[in-house]
Structure 1
C-alpha cells in the first residue's frame, strides 16, 4: 500500500507549520523525502493509500500498568469507563492533569496482565490531526517514533537525534519492564545502555578485547557529535536517516489513534487488508514468494496452451477421419461442408433407391404414434414433413402426455403438445 508518513512537529500547528514527510510505495523504500506545509503535502501514489503520523519520542511517556481482570479492551470497546480507569491508575505518575492527556494501549492488550500505555498531550495531537484533515490529508494511523519491546539486535539500542545545539539519544530495548528513554547525548547514556544489556550479552563480551559494543545509530545532523561523544569508548556509529526512521515506525503494530481519536472498525479492517496486500506485493521478504507465484502462473499458462494444442490436434484428426469416411463411402461427394449431414442425406437417398424406410418417414412415425396414443384418441388431421408428424384433434391430460413422451422416447422419438396438437419428431431431427 502506498503510504505518506508524516513527522509531527513538537509545537502546535500554525499557519507556518511544516511537516517532514516520507513517501513510499511499498512501506520499505522511500520514494521521496522532504518538508512541506500541510496544504502542499503530496498524496499517496496509489488509490487507497494511507497517511501515517509519527509522534516524536520526546513527546511520549510510557507507563506500565495492569488493568483489572474482565475489563474489555478491544478496538470497539474503548469506553469512558476504560478511560476513567486509566486516569485513576496514571494520575500519580504523570506531571500534567490526566484529563488533558491522550492514552493509547499497546496492541493486543489483555486485562489482568501488565501492558504499556503511551501518553501524550491530547490537545496537541488533536490539533495536528485536524490541521492535516483540513488540508485533505486525513491521518488513518498514528504511530510512535520508538516503542517498547524487543529490538532488531535483541538488546538495548541507542539512536542519536536532534540538532548539534539540541542533541539527544533514544534508548530502546531495555527489557519487558522498561520503556523508551530519552536522554541527553552524553557518555552516561551509553553507560546506561550497557547496564541494561542482558547478562548473556555481557558474558559473551568477556572474551572480547573491549567492552560489549551496542548498536548506536545517529541522524546525519548529529553523527559527528555522537562520534565525538561516544566514539572514544570504542563505539561505532551507523547513519540512520529520518526517512528510515519513518519507514520503521510506520511498520509498527502500534496505533495511537484510540478513544476519541479512534478510526472506525471498517477503516481499520481496510487498512489491515491493504497493508497485508502491499506487503505481499512489494516487501523484500516476499520477493521469493512473488517469483515462485510468477513461475507457477507461467507454468500453468504453458501447460494449458500445450493441452489446448493437443486437443485441437486430436479434434482436427477426428474431423479429417469423418471427412475421409464420407468421401470414401460416397465418392460422388466432392465438397465436404458438414460431413454428418451430408452422410445422412446420402443414406436417405440410398434408402429411397432401395425402397426401404427410415425412422424419419411417415410410416414409422404413424406406427409409433398409434402404439403410444391412449385407446380412443384419434386425430382429426395429419401434417407430415420429413422427420416430423403433427396429429391434430388429440386431447391429452398432463399424465397422458408424460406417459406418451416416455414411450416415444424409448422408440427414438420426441413428443410434445403444441398449439392443441401432438407433435412427433425423430431424435436428431433439427
Structure 2
C-alpha cells in the first residue's frame, strides 16, 4: 500500500483550507508525487499519515509516578497536574502524547498540542473520506547517545532553525544572531536544509548544508516510533496494537537500517524454495524408481503380462491364479474365508446361508442358536 504523508497548516493558520502532501511508493524508495492541495484533492484512496507541524507542538520532560500507566484516564489527569505550571494554556484544552516505550519512574518526553486544532484537522480529513492511521511529529527529541540533528526549514522570507537533541526540540527563527547556535550544533551532529532556504542558510551559517526536501524529512519522521494518537484520539486496544504492528512493519519495510535484514530474509526465502523444490524432485525420482522396480518384478515374474496398469493389483491376481492352477489355497478361496469367519463368530451364532462367488463375493447370513 502506498504511503501518503500529509502536513496541515499550523494552529495559527485560519482553518485547513489546503495541506502539503507527499506520495511515496510502498517501499518508501520512490517519490510518486508531492505538492499542496485542498483535502478533497489528495491523491489516491489510501490511509494517511499526518505529520504534525513543529509549530503545533511543545515538548516536556518529566517523571511519571509508579502505577500511572495502568489507566489512561488517570494518566491523563497525572500529566495535566505535572504540566500545569509549565503550560501557557489550560491543560484541559491540550492533547498529550507520551514517547514510545514510556515507563513509570523514568524520565519520559511528553508532546503537547491544542486539542481543538487537532480535532478540526482530523475531522476535515475524515470528512473527505480519508482515514488517518498515524500522527507523527515533524521533529522529536533525540534518544540518549544519538547525534544532534539540525534542520533549516521554511521559506526564504521566514527561515527557521530547528535543533533536535536529547534535551528536546529547539525551534528559532534563523537570523544572524541564531546562526552561531546553528554553526555550533551543526559541527556537533547532522545538519540539513530544505532547498528553498539552502542559500540563506549558507549565507548565515557560513557553509553549505546537505539538501533535505520536506518529503524526505517527513519520510524519516515516520521511521521513528512516535505516534501522537493517544488518549481521546486513540482507537481501541486491538486496533491500536494492529496500528503499532503496522507501523513497525512499515518501518522494517522502508527504513534503510533494515535493508540488510530485508535482503537476508529474501535470500533465506529463496534458499528455502530452492531446497524444497530440490527435495521434492528427489522424492519424485525415488518414487518413480520404486514404481519402475515394481513393474519390472511383475513383468519378469509373469512374462504374460504385457500391459501394466496397477502393478500391485495385477501381481495379486497373477499369484492367485498361479496358486489356483497348482491346487493351492488363496486368501480369496472359500476355505480360508470360512476359517477366518469361524474365529470371528460370536458364541451361539451359526450361519444360516452363505453366498460365495469365486473369490469375488462372500455374503454371510446368521442366526442365534
TM range (shorter): 0.7 to 0.9
Within 1, Cα distance between the matches of 2:188 and 2:324?
A: 106
Are 2:67 and 1:70 equivalent residues in the alignment?
A: yes
What are the residue-to-residue correspondences of 1:232-381 with 2, within 5 Å?
235-370=207-342, 372-373=344-345, 376-381=348-353
CA contact (8 A) 1:156 1:193 kept: no
**Number of aligned pairs?**
366
Aligned with 2:204 (options 229, 236, 257): 229
Residue equivalent to 1:184? 173
CA contact (8 A) 1:78 1:258 kept: no
Are 2:340 and 1:390 equivalent residues in the alignment?
A: no
Residue equivalent to 2:35? 34
Within 2, Cα distance between the matches of 1:92 and 1:330?
A: 102
Aligned with 1:127 (options 113, 120, 123): 120
CA contact (8 A) 1:26 1:279 kept: no
Secondary structure of the 1:293 match is helix
CA contact (8 A) 2:161 2:182 kept: no
Aligned with 1:156 (options 142, 148, 157): 148
Within 2, Cα distance between the matches of 1:295 and 1:367?
A: 63
Within 2, Cα distance between the matches of 1:345 and 1:64?
A: 88
Question: Structure 1 residue 217: deviation in Å?
Answer: 1.8
Question: Structure 1 residue 299: deviation in Å?
Answer: 3.2
Question: Structure 1 residue 228: deviation in Å?
Answer: 1.0
Question: Structure 1 residue 243: deviation in Å?
Answer: 0.5
Within 2, Cα distance between the matches of 1:223 and 1:266?
A: 44
Within 1, Cα distance between the matches of 2:313 and 2:331?
A: 16
Which stretches of structure 1, 4 residues or longer, exceed 6 Å deviation after superposition? 194-197
Within 1, Cα distance between the matches of 2:125 and 2:178?
A: 35
Which deviates more, 184-193 or 250-259? Answer: 184-193
After superposition, the Cα gap between the structure-2 partners of 1:246 and 1:308, relative to the gap in structure 1 and judged at 3 Å, is closer
Residue equivalent to 2:91? 98
After superposition, the Cα gap between the structure-2 partners of 1:265 and 1:369, relative to the gap in structure 1 and judged at 3 Å, is closer
Within 1, Cα distance between the matches of 2:117 and 2:174?
A: 26
Gaps of 5+ in 1: 198-211, 397-430
Within 1, Cα distance between the matches of 2:227 and 2:15?
A: 25
Residue equivalent to 1:220? 195
Instruction: Compute the TM-score of the two structures, normalised by the length of structure 2.
Output: 0.86
Within 1, Cα distance between the matches of 2:270 and 2:148?
A: 46
Within 1, Cα distance between the matches of 2:157 and 2:72?
A: 41
1:119-152 deviations in whole A, cap 9, x for unaligned?
Answer: 222211211111111111222221211111248x
Instruction: Compute the TM-score of the two structures, normalised by the length of structure 1.
Output: 0.75
After superposition, the Cα gap between the structure-2 partners of 1:82 and 1:240, relative to the gap in structure 1 and judged at 3 Å, is same
Select the structure of larger CA radius of gyration.
1
Residue equivalent to 1:404? none
Question: Structure 1 residue 41: deviation in Å?
Answer: 0.8
Within 2, Cα distance between the matches of 1:57 and 1:71?
A: 28
After superposition, the Cα gap between the structure-2 partners of 1:28 and 1:298, relative to the gap in structure 1 and judged at 3 Å, is closer
Residue equivalent to 1:52? 49
Secondary structure of the 1:238 match is coil
Within 2, Cα distance between the matches of 1:123 and 1:7?
A: 17
Gaps of 5+ in 2: none
Residue equivalent to 1:6? 6
Secondary structure of the 2:350 match is coil
Residue equivalent to 1:172? 164
Which deviates more, 137-146 or 94-103? Answer: 94-103
Within 1, Cα distance between the matches of 2:162 and 2:90?
A: 25
Question: Structure 1 residue 39: deviation in Å?
Answer: 0.7
Are 2:136 and 1:143 equivalent residues in the alignment?
A: yes
Within 1, Cα distance between the matches of 2:324 and 2:23?
A: 85
Within 2, Cα distance between the matches of 1:257 and 1:323?
A: 70
Residue equivalent to 1:82? 75
